Structure 1
Amino acid sequence: MSELRWDPVKLHWVIIATDRGRRPRDFQMEPEESSLTTCPFCYGNEDKTPHEIYALRSDGGANSPNWRVRVIPNKYPALCIEGEAKTRGYGPYDRMNGVGAHEVIIETPDHERGLADLTVAELTDVLATYRARFLDLRNDPRLRYMVLYKNHGIRAGAGLSHSYSQLIAVPLTPPVAATEMKVCRDFYATKERCIYCDLIDFEISEGARVVKEFASYVTVTPFASCFPFELRLFPKKHRHDFAALGDPDLVELAQALKDMLCRLKCVLRDPPYNFILHTAPPMQHRQGKPQYWGSLEYDYHWHIELVPRLIQIAGFEWGTGFYINPTSPEDAAAFLREAEV
């Protein structure tokens, strides 16, 4: 029988349609092919991209080869760095200048390797680059929130087959993030505990949805998974800010991330997916709101969300806000645990 499950952080219901019982082979897709003949992200094509913002390289100057990870402005940015972030009324509506930052993180110079194919050392470089860009963008008081995400595969929204992720900084707090942080704050105000710490402790003790546990990190399939084989990667110790991680933390995180990506690639044959890093926003003073998100250090818990794009959202989901997941998170966790990586 199907079951309705409530997500206490995202505040929505999910239908786990166990009667459909879809297994990994039911989701396997044909490999995606790109029609692009020349990739601007490959070695030697540095002149075909905007000038780099940041890079890790062994030698050479800016915009030269020999880089390991490279960050450039998006050629067609959703938001632009110039301008003033100010809202204004427009009848019953609001308007705001499209101020922000939109960066592309090219994760490897090798066109044929995806994030799952990188070594732990290479993944550590990628994570260190994420951290560096978060820390730099936080110096701009106009920017209220940073969204780090990766679209892997054409079906997940990737414009190029070369492995890259993106970072968008926005001048306000997005509704999804605001809801999540408010839930965390309200839970802490009542119980003086982090809601994510409670969820992590419960998942580890029960074990049914744990995919892999490390000394400092754990990968789970969420109890109310919206999509088949949805995953979360959490630090087991309470930490609100990804950008505050030290170098040793990044190495172990790279190990846990590689394990998660390799299991997914093994079980589902490299599916398209969306990857989002959720972390605390900049702790900047906000005029008229001296306590704005002031308790994040205690109540928020950073984490990585990974959603394979195996099914499509249709009319029921759009019309109700419910999701229908044909694979239970318990079954998904079991398939992923058994993968040989």
Structure 2
Amino acid sequence: MSELRWNPLRMNWVIVVKERGRGPQDYHLERERVTTTSCPFCYGQEAKTTQEVFAIRPEANPSGTSNWKVRVIPNKYPALRIEGDLDKRGVGLYDVMNGVGAHEVIVESPDHGRSMADFSPAEIVDVLKAYRARLLDLRKDPRFRYIIIFKNHGVEAGATIPHPHSQLIAVPITPPVVATKLSVSRDYYHRKERCLMCDMLDQEREEKERLVRDDDHFMVFAPFASSFPFELCIAPRRHSHDFALLGDEELTALAETLKDTLYRLRHVLRDPPYNLVLHNAPPMHLRLGKPSHWGSLPYDYHWHIELVPRLVKTAGFERGTGFHINPTPPEQAARYLREANLPAVL
């Protein structure tokens, strides 16, 4: 019999199909591939992009030239633009504001043919340092209520350019998914004086059946109420509300965790398309009339990464109810990934 499971962090129900759960072989589908004749993210094509706002280079080098390891550029076709005022206003029953924000691309490597699963931990550290630098810079702007960093891998996951890259979007409102997580975390802390994610991590470590990896620095587990097959959560064992405050040693530990996790996914599911999303604390700007608005944020919120392979499509039931049907129980998904016989990493 299937089960309805409640996700206390997202405040939603999920239907988990326990009988005849689908295994990795059921998701080995032919991937859609995109070919490009001239990629703007490759070495020597810097003039075809917007002017970089951040870069990591092996040595001092003028901006706009090659010999970079990671490069951050404003999106050429941004969803939101950094120039202008919000100009909030009402239009009848509706609310409107100008499309002000930031939209950047983090080009993760000059090598067109590699993905993050191919990177060494040191190369992933450079990408994470770029994330950290851009968060610290953009949070200074009081117009931005939230900054999200995400990675689309594969056409099915939304990647239109095959070159390895992530994106960052800063928005002037708190997104509904984020607002729910912030509210739930705050309410849980007010009731129990404990962090919800910390309690979840303790339970996953005790039960072990949904655990994929635990090195005492970061844990990787399949959430109890996973909305999608092989969905994973990556979170620091030490309570931390803000990814941008991580030191280099912690970034190195996270890079090793990401490398191992992405390598397992690629081996078990044959390089699936996926979305990787960093759920971080919002900028702690003072709010008029709410002097204690972020008072408990460093104690109640726990940053984490959601990693979701795009293996199934949502249809009418999901759109009409908000419920997701997961055909692979998270306990099985975690076991497949945890017990995978991995080839040696070069």
Normalising by structure 1, what TM-score? Answer: 0.99
In structure 1, how many angstroms separate the alpha carbons of the residues matched to 2:205 and 2:216?
12
Residue of structure 2 equivalent to 1:8: 8
After TM superposition, the structure 1 = structure 2 runs for residues 258-273 of structure 1, keeping only pairs within 5 Å, are 258-273=259-274
Question: 2:149 matched to 1:148?
Answer: yes
> C-alpha deviations, 1:205-256, integer Å up to 9, x for none?
0000000111211100000000000000010111000000001110001001
Moved more, 219-228 or 82-91: 82-91
Deviation at 1:288, TM superposition (A): 2.0
Question: 2:224 matched to 1:223?
Answer: yes
Maintained 8 Å contact 1:232/1:305? yes
Question: 2:284 matched to 1:283?
Answer: yes
Residue of structure 1 equivalent to 2:319: 318
In structure 2, how many angstroms separate the alpha carbons of the residues matched to 1:20 and 1:149?
33
In structure 2, how many angstroms separate the alpha carbons of the residues matched to 1:110 and 1:29?
26
Residue of structure 2 equivalent to 1:96: 97
Residue of structure 2 equivalent to 1:17: 17
Maintained 8 Å contact 1:283/1:294? no
In structure 2, how many angstroms separate the alpha carbons of the residues matched to 1:41 and 1:2?
46
In structure 1, how many angstroms separate the alpha carbons of the residues matched to 2:111 and 2:32?
18
Deviation at 1:20, TM superposition (A): 4.1
Residue of structure 1 equivalent to 2:31: 31
In structure 2, how many angstroms separate the alpha carbons of the residues matched to 1:200 and 1:214?
13
Residue of structure 1 equivalent to 2:134: 133
Residue correspondences, number: 341
Question: 2:46 matched to 1:52?
Answer: no
CA-atom RMSD in angstroms? 0.9
In structure 1, how many angstroms separate the alpha carbons of the residues matched to 2:69 and 2:285?
32
> C-alpha deviations, 1:153-211, integer Å up to 9, x for none?
00000010001000000011111100110000000001000011000000000000000
Q: Runs in 1 of length 4+ with deviation above 4 angstroms? A: none
Q: What letter corresponds to residue 327 of structure 2 in structure 1?
A: P
In structure 1, how many angstroms separate the alpha carbons of the residues matched to 2:114 and 2:36?
16
Q: What letter corresponds to residue 312 of structure 1 in structure 2?
A: K
In structure 1, how many angstroms separate the alpha carbons of the residues matched to 2:35 and 2:126?
29
Residue of structure 2 equivalent to 1:296: 297
Moved more, 294-303 or 27-36: 27-36
> C-alpha deviations, 1:101-132, integer Å up to 9, x for none?
00000000001110111000000000011000
In structure 2, how many angstroms separate the alpha carbons of the residues matched to 1:177 and 1:83?
25
Residue of structure 2 equivalent to 1:113: 114
In structure 1, how many angstroms separate the alpha carbons of the residues matched to 2:263 and 2:295?
37
Deviation at 1:35, TM superposition (A): 3.3
> C-alpha deviations, 1:292-318, integer Å up to 9, x for none?
232110000000000100000000000
Deviation at 1:147, TM superposition (A): 0.6
In structure 2, how many angstroms separate the alpha carbons of the residues matched to 1:292 and 1:80?
27
Question: 2:159 matched to 1:168?
Answer: no
> C-alpha deviations, 1:57-96, integer Å up to 9, x for none?
1232101000000000001000000111232111111001
Question: 2:258 matched to 1:257?
Answer: yes
Unmatched runs of 5 consecutive residues or more in structure 1: none
